[in-house]
Amino acid sequence: MVSEFSDAPEAETAALALKILVAGGFGAGKTTLVGAVSEIRPLRTEELLSEAGQCVDDTDGVDQKVTTTVAMDFGRITIRSGLSLYLFGTPGQDRFWFLWDELSQGALGAVVLADTRRLEDCFPAVDYFEHRRIPFVVAVNCFAGARAYGAHDVSRALDLDRGTPVVLCDARDRDSGKEVLIRLVEYAGRMHTARLLDSVS
């Protein structure tokens, strides 16, 4: 995407931003989770669809000349001065899928929020990240009134690749959200190391 970008050599101290996506079906709690852990009120940005559609390959069935906008919620966590984490809620509707390609470019990883009452809603997100080999964790949002399932049941029901973490969470709760992110960052680190070793051998 920006590989041809040539500017002055970047200083060692250049600010660093990492991107984490929050995906899942409609109403699974994406914006809630972003809001719970973000230090800023979740912000909303709009993307013009006609413009976004130009840079991706898989826009079959998407009219590239549509000029409506799609909103994305995002939040920020500052780890320290010069190192921050940005969380982007992915647009839920299928017709905005091509936006995911841009969002996932360079992403550290993703959280797929699952609602056990509508587990099938998160299948597309699971497929998406598995195919692109983007590290993700499944966070089961434990809605009140939903039947409790164990992480193992969810893992089996989603037919997850071995090792993909499943975390039970409450998307409204800051500590719970933090825990989900920690699990994701740990897992992303393990995946990355494993790939480095693969490429060496």
Partner 1 sequence: MTEDRTDVEQRPGSQWYDHEAGPLVRPYAMTGGRTRPGPAGVRFDLIALVSLEAGAPDVDDPTSLGPEHRALLDLCRIETQSVAELAAGTDLPVGVVRVLVGDLLELGHVRVSRPVPPAQLPDERILREVIAGLRAL
Measured from the CB atom, is 142 or 184 closer to partner 1? 184
- Tracing tokens 């970047």 back to the chain, one arrives at 10
CB of 3 to partner 1, least distance (A): 7
Measured from the CB atom, is 64 or 93 closer to partner 1? 64
Instruction: Report the distance separating Cα 58 and Cα 95, nearest Å.
Output: 11
CB of 136 to partner 1, least distance (A): 14
CB of 25 to partner 1, least distance (A): 22
Measured from the CB atom, is 157 or 185 closer to partner 1? 185
- Hey, CA dihedral for 24, 28, 33, 34, is it positive or negative? positive
Which residues lie near partner 1 (CB under 8 A)?
1-8, 10, 14-19, 37, 43-48, 50-52, 54-55, 64-65, 67, 69, 72, 74, 76-77, 79-80, 83, 85-86, 88, 102-103, 105-108, 174, 178, 181-182, 185-186, 188-189, 192-193
Measured from the CB atom, is 150 or 189 closer to partner 1? 189
Q: Tokens in use for 21? A: 């996506």
What residues are paired with 14 via a beta bridge?
none
What residues are paired with 146 via a beta bridge?
none
- Tracing tokens 């920690």 back to the chain, one arrives at 182
Measured from the CB atom, is 117 or 133 closer to partner 1? 133
CB of 118 to partner 1, least distance (A): 28
CB of 200 to partner 1, least distance (A): 14
**44 phi and psi angles, rounded to 5 deg:** -125, 130
**149 phi and psi angles, rounded to 5 deg:** -115, 150
Q: Dihedral of the CA atoms 66, 122, 113, 87 (nearest 10)?
A: -30
Instruction: Report the distance separating Cα 18 and Cα 104, nearest Å.
Output: 11
